[in-house]
Chains A and B, each alone.
Chain A
Amino acid sequence: MDQFWLIISKPDNVPIVLMLLLVGFFTWLALSEARKFDKARAEGKTVKEAAYGDEADYPERVTVWPFLVREEFLAAIAMTIFLFIWSMALDAPLEEMANPNVTPNPSKAPWYFLGLQEILVYFDPWIAGVILPNVIVVGLMVIPYIDPNPKGSGYYTFRERPLAITIFLFGFLILWVLLTAIGTFTRGPGWIWFWPWQYWDTHAVVAETNVDFSDLFFGISSGSFTGSLIGFAVIAIWFPLIMALPLIFRKGRELASEMGIVRYLVFGNLLAFMLALPLKMFLRIFLHVKYIWVTPWFNV
């Protein structure tokens, strides 16, 4: 446990602890506000009545001066005090002078990129470090254009947009925040998994024999032409499969017709990208699969 305390009390890791607490708190806040709203709606109240609660007869609009300006002023003062206390209590880290000949183990990116660094365990750098970050940014940008649901604008609700919120929470809480925490707190020397009670031993070795997908399931060498073809087939099936799955259900078909073909294709592809990560994590962790598709030029 001493080791764990050492890691979370590192000055640069303190913000992650703070971030985890804040994300937890705000997730609770958003979902409890949503539950309150949904309950009121179920009782037959209008959106406005449900959102405003017992303050429904208060004025809907207020003047910025003094109400908003006062609040901004107070927020700025509170943040300033918080920063001063933080800065007096904790010094910014400064290690020894940069030395290209001494590689620290583990070598870690800044904490907000550790989720991406964690993905490097499961995918080669060209996917984990280049393709996926770009897909994340583009995927976030297109959210407003692929969400056909006009409801739930300007208030917290779950029932009016369950799909959008579920996907976002999965992406944000699990694939981003949790992976960042894993990359920070459990990955020690050699990027080996260490539990909080374990000591980060620089000489630790984990014996792990990885196999490729076609070797494991078909006994065909992944480097062979047939093996490569099998790998390609898995990827080629994965994307249409994820896109087709919702269409089995009536609600999925309704969603698709509401979205139209282009929106649905974009949505389906992004979803397939997103779900490929937990799938590959599962294959890697439990079946020790390294690559699904091996080619002379790149591996997936």
Chain B
Amino acid sequence: MDTDALKKEITKGQLWRSVMRHDVEDNPRTRVLKVMSNVFLHLHPVRIPRFGLYLKHTWCMGGLTFFLFLVLTVTGTLLMFYYHPTKEVAYADIKYLEFDVPFGMLLRNMHRWSAHAMIISVWLHMYRVFMTGSYKPPREFNWVVGVLLLTLTMLLSFTGYLLTDDQLGFWAVTVGTNMARATPLLGHEGPFAELTGASPYNDIRFAMLGGSVVAGNALLRAYIWHCIALPLIVAMFIAVHFWRVRKDGGISAPQ
């Protein structure tokens, strides 16, 4: 039996067709069907402007940002298997991950460097979109969604910073959240704090940390924001962002 006949036999069979739903010959019809009949690929339109392929035009930064988000979701989920968000064991869990868990160090490195890379790629994506004027009508609102995603990306990274429970994360988050003390009206060291009665035990920083200092509750809150709340919010905005790219006329190109 030659391979062509075998291939034909398989691709005409019930099993193959139940999954793929279209022929495999490369022709304009199947090129369209391949995108339209696949739930993941159909995020794309069927055709795009040729400019969308040019690296010197897109810098590939939006796509890489999304890919890094996926890498972070996978490595982050694996890290969750080895981590308890409590003051007693969090730091020991990281040590355990580094020295005992097979490929634990690699896993942690991948997560950390992907996070840094995602911050850079999301900045560069914004830079590219600005420089090509791609925020102009009809894409104004998608730019707004993009700015939200950029902010959320930095918050995701920031909440993850505390989780190692080491000096680096602890002080970085202390420095960062101390800013909240100075919030006008809502922070106990901010302007007009006496009008609202803000104190270290009821102000906006207290709400962020679940206490007046960065301690166990802050670790748990950072963990929940980092692993559940923010990823869900980001995923929702990504869906809107991608959907709007198509609804607003696809990737921008010279008209």
Contacts and interface: CB of A to CB of B under 8 A. Distances in A.
Interface of A: 12, 15, 18-19, 22-23, 26, 29-30, 33-34, 47-48, 50-52, 55, 58-69, 71-72, 75-76, 79-80, 83-84, 86-88, 90-100, 102-104, 107-113, 117, 124-126, 128-131, 137, 140-141, 143-145, 147, 149-157, 161, 164-165, 168, 172, 297-298
Interface size class on chain B is: 35 or more
A131 B191 CA distance: 12
Contacts of B184: 126, 130-131, 298
Interface of B: 28, 31-32, 34-35, 41, 44-53, 56-57, 59-60, 63-64, 67-68, 71, 91, 94-95, 98, 105-106, 108-114, 116-117, 119-120, 123-124, 126-128, 130-137, 139-141, 143-144, 147-148, 150-151, 154, 157-158, 161, 164-172, 174-176, 178-184, 187, 189-192, 213-214, 252-255
Contacts, number: 258
A26 B254 contact: no
A71 B46 CA distance: 15
A270 to B, nearest CB: 14
A90 to B, nearest CB: 7
B172 A108 contact: yes
A155 B181 CA distance: 44
A86 B108 CA distance: 12
A90 B254 CA distance: 42
B51 to A, nearest CB: 7
Most buried by A among B32, B50, B158, B214: B50
Contacts of A161: 133
B133 A75 contact: no
A125 B180 CA distance: 9
B114 A83 contact: yes
A63 B31 contact: yes
A58 B31 contact: no
B46 A168 contact: no
